[in-house]
Amino acid sequence: ADDLCGLVIHLNTKGIKHAIVGDCVEVCFAAGENWHQGVLTTLQRGWYGLENLSLIPGNMGAAPIQNIGAYGVELADLFVSLSAIEIATGKHCEFDKAACEFAYRDSLFKNSARDKYIIVDITLRLSTSPAVNTSYPALAAAAAEAGLDGDLTPQVVSQLVCQIRSQKLPDPAVTPNAGSFFKNPVVAGSTAAALLEQYPQMPSYPQPDQRKKIPAAWLIDQCGFKGVRRGSVGVHKNQALVLVNYLSDGGGTGEQLLKLSEELRDAVWDRFAIRLEIEPRVYGPSGKG
């Protein structure tokens, strides 16, 4: 939210190691490896599983913090372990999948272990035989539109995902943003049923526990905020869940962005009685970080 008063370390370590384990390959990426380059490297080597997570901005070491996910796959599905340094002691620690307490856009590192560890590498288990997952509606639709439904390889899935992302999401190198600014709310089945009666066109995704996930983008869009600008910050014109900072327009402050996020949360609460939760971690005094 503001400039950080303290030492900021950008980990830039490189390296990819692998070991074949039966039909799978366990791949260990240094934390500073770029995520998307890592995805492309695995596909080139015939290691599959990361294709749906193509083009996510950021580095390997950041991926477990919020259990990144997209197009029907999340990091936890492929995760084996990570190694980290405990900041207070300098001690080297290993965390297996259970220890990371992964959940939807969440992990131990956003909760009790927040800011306590530096992740130095992550190990993922990938497949050496190609299989694709096109269960996510937007991905299935893109495959059908390209006339490719029966003929999909992981490489083609990766290309389709890149195409969808480039159409919908702003490039952070051009228009700074933190991806989805809110998590998709998960509501009781009865709440979703009541909303669906009122808004039959509302998209909703069933969860294993009978609850339903509702796209926050749809809720914000319905409140009329898509493309709205407040000074130099705004809601992206193609994806209502992404808040952007228009540098070309002078650039906004963290405080302005958080004020806009409050406006969106209030509007969604007033109209749908659903509370949106911020997805990124907010640092700095005006973010109460």
Instruction: Tell me which residues touch ligand EPU (CB under 6 A).
Output: 70-71, 105, 136, 138, 168, 179-180, 183-184, 203, 215, 217-218, 221, 226, 239-241, 279
Our CB check for ligand EPU shows the closer of 19 and 141 to be 141
Q: Is 32 exposed, middle or buried (0-12, 13-18, 19+ CB in 10 A)?
A: middle
Nearest-approach distance from CB 11 to ligand EPU, in angstroms: 21
Our CB check for ligand EPU shows the closer of 33 and 74 to be 74
Pick the catalytic residue from 54, 81, 158, 180: 180
Residue nearest to ligand EPU (CB): 179
180 labelled catalytic = yes
105 labelled catalytic = yes
Q: Is 127 exposed, middle or buried (0-12, 13-18, 19+ CB in 10 A)?
A: middle
108 in Cβ contact with 117 (< 8 Å): no
Pick the catalytic residue from 105, 125, 211, 265: 105
Q: How far is residue 148's CA from residue 55's CA, in Å, rounded to a whole number? A: 21
Nearest-approach distance from CB 48 to ligand EPU, in angstroms: 18
DSSP-derived 3-state class of residue 244: strand
Nearest-approach distance from CB 79 to ligand EPU, in angstroms: 17
Q: Is 175 exposed, middle or buried (0-12, 13-18, 19+ CB in 10 A)?
A: middle
DSSP-derived 3-state class of residue 158: helix
Nearest-approach distance from CB 71 to ligand EPU, in angstroms: 5
145 labelled catalytic = no
**Positions marked catalytic:** 105, 180, 279
